[in-house]
Amino acid sequence: MKLELRIDSTPLEVELDDVIAALLALRLDLPDDANREDALARYLSEKGAPWVLDEEHMRRRILRRLILDIADPALIIRHLMTSQ
């Protein structure tokens, strides 16, 4: 899933694996019929602020945030059980 984030009005393109995007959507309690791309882009844009250094630094910052947000073993097990 490709997302275009806006961090301090600076665009940043980030690509997420579908499983990672689904886990984050579960973590944020997004409904199944919600526009996940917009909701995830808004969330990550807010959490990524403020813009610091360059694009690569910001991508690493966003990925670290993703790891912290979805590193819940119960959430991962629930996702795996519902997809079977």
pLDDT of residue 84: 60
Residue 13 CB contacts under 8 Å (≥ 6 apart), including other chains:
2, 3, 4, 5
Q: Exposed/middle/buried for 48, CB within 10 Å: 0-12, 13-18, 19+?
A: buried
Identify which has the larger pLDDT, 83 or 20. Answer: 20
pLDDT digit string (tens) for 69-84?
A: 887 777 667 777 876 6
Q: Given the structure tokens 């301090």, which residue do they identify?
A: 8
The number of distinct structural domains making up the chain is 1
**Domain housing 6:** 2-82
Of 24, 56, 55, nearest to 40 (Cα)?
A: 24
Percent of the chain with pLDDT over 70: 94
pLDDT digit string (tens) for 39-63?
A: 999 999 998 888 888 999 999 898 8
